[in-house]
Amino acid sequence: GMVGTLITTILPHWRRTAHVGTNILTAVSYLKGLWMECVWHSTGIYQCQVYRSLLALPQDLQAARALMVISCLLSGAACACAVVGMKCTRCAKGTPAKATFAVLGGVLFLLGGLLCMVAVSWTTNDVVQNFYNPLLPSSMKFEIGQALYLGFISSSLSLIGGTLLCLSCQDEAPSRPYQAQPRAATATAATAPSYRPPAAFKDNRAPSVTSA
């Protein structure tokens, strides 16, 4: 998910020229991304130019930039937390913090995937609305680029991965070694009788036949 989000952010294939109307037969195709716009010629030559002004860009493009950058940062932090929280790593092994890191990684993956999904969905909706707008000329209409499809896939993977991390890494009580409890002395234990002098048994004897 993180790799796909990063590639989606960099690629200029967010919008591509719509081949409708007078643009059906053309030797030039225009591509627009978050950071640059490119021109593709039928000869296979690409010419790209980075946007020079930040303030002159449309607000939806600026918002998509911010969302994708934050999504990439959150995905990177999520990967770091998930690595620490994995049971196969030695970091924080045997401590409750390991499960906490795993859950934190899942939450960050969910947030990163959600931001990426919002950015690509917003751009897709804008492209579709402009495409079906009868007031716009054909030269200003664009179609959905490959980067948007990749963004949908990567954001879905981030959401699925974050959900699985949150569900599989629940807090577990730390196991304690078994300790044998000392057995208390019972009343049935055999005890030695206390010493009594012979005079104590003198009056307790039953009278014999001869004495009677």
Please tell me the predicted confidence (pLDDT) of residue 115: 94
Residue with tokens 């021109």: 39
pLDDT mean across residues, the chain: 77
For residues 40-47, average pLDDT = 78
Tokens for 96?
Answer: 């409750």
CA–CA distance, 188 with 207 (Å, rounded to integer): 34
Token pair 């981030």 is at which residue?
158
Residue 81: band (very low, low, confident or very high) from pLDDT cuts 50, 70, 90: confident
Per-residue pLDDT tens over the stretch 85-101: 777 666 666 676 777 87
Q: For residues 160 and 42, is the Cβ–Cβ distance under 8 A?
A: no
Strand, helix or coil for residue 201: helix
User: Each residue of 183-201: pLDDT tens digit?
Assistant: 544 444 455 556 566 655 5
Residue in the structure block whose two tokens are 């402009």:
130
What tens digit of pLDDT does each residue of 45-67 get? 888 888 887 778 888 889 999 99
What is the band of 211 on the pLDDT scale with cuts at 50, 70, 90? very low
For the chain, the residue count is 212
% the chain with pLDDT above 90? 24
Tokens of 176: 């304690």
Range of lowest pLDDT (69-73, 100-104, 167-171): 167-171
User: What is the CATH architecture of 2-10+54-168?
Assistant: Up-down Bundle (1.20)
For the chain, helix (H) and strand (E) counts, in that order, are: 4, 5
pLDDT tens digits for 14-35? 988 876 555 555 667 888 889 9
pLDDT of residue 204 exceeding 60, the answer is no
Contact 142, 17 (CB under 8 A): yes
- For the CA atoms of 20, 21, 26, 31, the dihedral, rounded to the nearest 10 degrees, stands at -40
